[in-house]
Amino acid sequence: MARLAIEHLRKSYGDVTVVDDVTIDIAEGEFLVLLGPSGCGKTTTLRMVAGFVPPSAGKIAIGPRDVTGLPPWKRNCGLVFQSYALFPHMTVAENVAFGLEMRKTPKADRGPRVAEALRLVQLTGFDTRYPRQLSGGQQQRVALARALAMEPDVLLLDEPLSNLDAKLRQEVRVEIRELQRKLGLTTIMVTHDQEEALTMADRLVVMEGGKVRQIGTQRELYEKPADRFVAGFIGRSAFVDGRIEGDGRFRSKGGLEIACAAATGAGPATLALRPERIAVGSDAEGLANRFSARVEHAAYLGALLDIHVSLSEHDRMLLQIPNRQGFVEPRPGETIAIGWAGDAGLIYPLQS
């Protein structure tokens, strides 16, 4: 049974629906990431789980408990706020002990549990400091320790790393994930950072416009994006607009005839290609689709080369090729041969 079940959750402010029919099951001990562009309803979803936003419709259950109508203080969800929200007038130890105090944990047990929580986040010895005496990274870890100390049924993290600098973010990512695995905590993390989401999640939920676009593992999202949005949001895609001419046959707006196994039926559609599936030069020989392309722009990114090309007046795409030994990036204006296999593309409905 799911540890946390969110069913048909909806939130409207007046006429505006900011979370729309969200259904997610999270398994015991799973690390689930809500990923989506800013404003897509991630925080609102998380705050409904924590009890700060009353849902307009839907149900939230933690284990066997239906918590939909419960106030925040009866939910036992540990929430780490984006701004950390440490109590400025309490020391680190008092902050961490607060949840235990609220649960009427005997005084004698609190000390060891606070110490244990601080040890987990590597802040042993910081007990008597005040939040203002800590760096951003340390404050973030106090917030985490405070949530962990109360032994929550689920851990909720709202963009926990967004206020840290890039290097620290990398470290804390790993730390949080190790800690979560060790404690077996059922966790939802919210982020708009794709890389962060991909490196940390067991499973991801891609949201857009208040709706769940796709739920799946990294591989599922990358290899079988459910729609054009996910195909463009998780990793990059080159999109070719056109129409399906018949099973296996796609014709681009610019008139290119493309063999595509995913094309079935007929009608307007978009073909999505992962940039790294497109071969260049002699690698393109023998592939089902071969075209000559004019280079518009090439960017040297170290391990990769980004090459923007146009195949016809109406067909542009991005190629991403590994920077192999001795490879010289083509110059703008040059013509190169490119190609891809018949099974490389995915088909989505054409968006206006």
Partner 1 sequence: MTAASRPSLGRIALNGAAGIGLLYILLPLIFVIWLAFFRQEIPSFPPEGYSLKWFGAAANNKAFVSGFVLSLQVGVAATLIGLLLGVPAALALVRHRIVLGPAVNTLLLLPLVMPGIVLGTALYVFQIETEIATGLPVLGSLGGLVAAHTLVVVPWVVRLVTASLVGFDRTIEEAAQNLGAGPFTTFWRVTLPSIRPGLVAGGLFGFVTSFGNLEMSLFLVGPGRTTLPIAILQYLEWKIDPTVAAASVIQIGLIAVAMIVTDRYVKLSRVV
Ligand X SMILES: Nc1ncnc2c1ncn2[C@@H]1O[C@H](COP(=O)(O)OP(=O)(O)O)[C@@H](O)[C@H]1O
CB-wise, 82 or 91, nearer to Mg ion? Answer: 82
CB-wise, 78 or 235, nearer to partner 1? Answer: 78
For helices 136-149 and 166-183, angle between their N-to-C axes, nearest 10 degrees: 10
CB-wise, 146 or 213, nearer to partner 1? Answer: 146
13 binds ligand X (CB under 6 A): yes
DSSP string, 300-329: E-SSEEEEEEEEETTEEEEEEEE--TT--P
Can you say whether residue 255 is alpha, beta or left, with left for phi > 0 and alpha for psi between -120 and 50 degrees? left
Q: Which does 13 bind (CB under 5 to 8 A by kind): Mg ion, partner 1, ligand X, none?
A: ligand X
Instruction: Using CB under 8 A, list all residues that contact partner 1.
Output: 50-52, 71-74, 76-79, 81, 83, 85-89, 98-99, 102-103, 146-147, 150
Residue with tokens 């083509």: 330
Rounded CA separation 161/141 (Å)? 10
Q: How far are the Cα atoms of 117, 120, 174 from residue 182, in angstroms, in the given order?
A: 13, 10, 12
Of 44, 140, 187, 320, the one binding ligand X (CB under 6 A) is 44
Contact (CB, 8 A) for 239 and 319: no
Q: Which does 18 bind (CB under 5 to 8 A by kind): partner 1, Mg ion, ligand X, none?
A: ligand X
51 binds ligand X (CB under 6 A): no
How many alpha carbons lie under 13 Å from residue 44 in its C-beta half-sphere?
24
Q: Mark the segment that binds Mg ion (CB under 5 A) among 27-35, 43-51, 121-129, 310-318.
A: 43-51
Q: Mark the segment that binds Mg ion (CB under 5 A) among 39-47, 141-149, 267-275, 302-310.
A: 39-47
CB-wise, 79 or 305, nearer to partner 1? Answer: 79
Of 22, 41, 287, 305, the one binding ligand X (CB under 6 A) is 41
Q: Mark the segment that binds ligand X (CB under 6 A) among 35-43, 92-100, 179-187, 276-284.
A: 35-43
Of 34, 43, 145, 213, the one binding Mg ion (CB under 5 A) is 43
CB-wise, 35 or 150, nearer to ligand X? Answer: 35
DSSP string, 191-233: ES-HHHHHHH-SEEEEEETTEEEEEE-HHHHHHS-SSHHHHHH
**Contacts (Cβ under 8 Å, ≥6 apart) of 321:** 276, 278, 279, 280, 304, 305, 307, 327
Q: How far are the Cα atoms of 51, 62, 99, 177, 201 from residue 74, in angstroms, in the given order?
A: 9, 12, 12, 26, 27
44 binds Mg ion (CB under 5 A): no
Tell me the chain's radius of gyration from C-alpha atoms: 25
CB-wise, 155 or 311, nearer to Mg ion? Answer: 155
Of 4, 6, 18, 22, the one binding ligand X (CB under 6 A) is 18
Least separation in angstroms between CB 86 and partner 1: 7
Least separation in angstroms between CB 57 and ligand X: 16
Binding site for Mg ion (CB under 5 A): 43
